[in-house]
Amino acid sequence: MNQWTNFIKGFVKENPILVLLLGTCPTLAVTTSGINGIGMGLATTFVLVGSNTVVSLVKSTIPDKVRIPAFIVIIASFVTIVQLVMQAYTPSLYDALGIFIPLIVVNCIVLGRAEAFASKQSILSSCIDGLGMGLGFTMALFLLGSVREALGNGSFLGQKFIEGDGILMFILSPGAFLALGYFIALMNRIKKTL
């Protein structure tokens, strides 16, 4: 597999949210706005790239019996870095994302990529895989958050474009499920044409 194919698979072919349906809990919870989607996506991307790279680097030194706990410690280290940086430099985003930042440690996307890909591939391939999957995740969160924000609040990236309120349902959980369902259907349609 060449590195370009490795990178772009996270956007369409193996998109974590829209194809693999991984990480749906934070997806549905934090995508009330495009900004929240970007914040959560970039935080997860940083953790994916960092943990994939380190896991690939130390994979041969970790005994099989403690492989998963070791991966979790590596992932937790990167999540702690992200959490502290967000808390210091973007406190409003940190507050909006809340408990879902520390929960990146047990996100299926991050642990799954460490186990299924980074533990078996080269450092460069693992880093590129983490970047592609993370940016694909970010794209899906941004699109979902932007649609929910536009329909629910009548705004885009915090800027109002209609007077009054939007459709309240899209800011609540039912709207998240409905919007995600439409995006999954759209992704299935796109995959059929490729």
Q: Does the predicted TM-score (pTM) go above 0.85? A: yes
Cα separation, 136 vs 132, in Å, equals 6
Half-sphere exposure of 183 (CA within 13 A, CB side): 29
Half-sphere exposure of 144 (CA within 13 A, CB side): 35
Measured CA distances, 121 to 10, 32, 60 (Å):
16, 36, 11
* Model confidence at 179: pLDDT above 90: yes
Report residue 194's pLDDT band, with 50, 70 and 90 as the boundaries: confident
pLDDT at residue 78 in the model:
97
Measured CA distances, 1 to 6, 8, 9, 165 (Å):
7, 11, 11, 48
User: For the segment 29-50, what is each residue's pLDDT rounded down to a tens digit?
Assistant: 999 999 999 999 999 999 999 9
What mean pLDDT is reported for the chain? 93
* Model confidence at 164: pLDDT above 80: no
Contact 83, 105 (CB under 8 A): no
pLDDT at residue 75 in the model:
96
Contact 82, 101 (CB under 8 A): yes
pLDDT at residue 76 in the model:
96
Q: What are phi and psi for residue 21, nearest 5 degrees? A: 55, 40
The amino acid present at 39, given as its one-letter code, is G
Q: How confident is the model over 102-129, as a mean pLDDT?
A: 92
User: For the segment 125-157, what is each residue's pLDDT rounded down to a tens digit?
Assistant: 999 999 999 999 999 999 999 999 999 999 999
Domain positions in the chain: 3-193
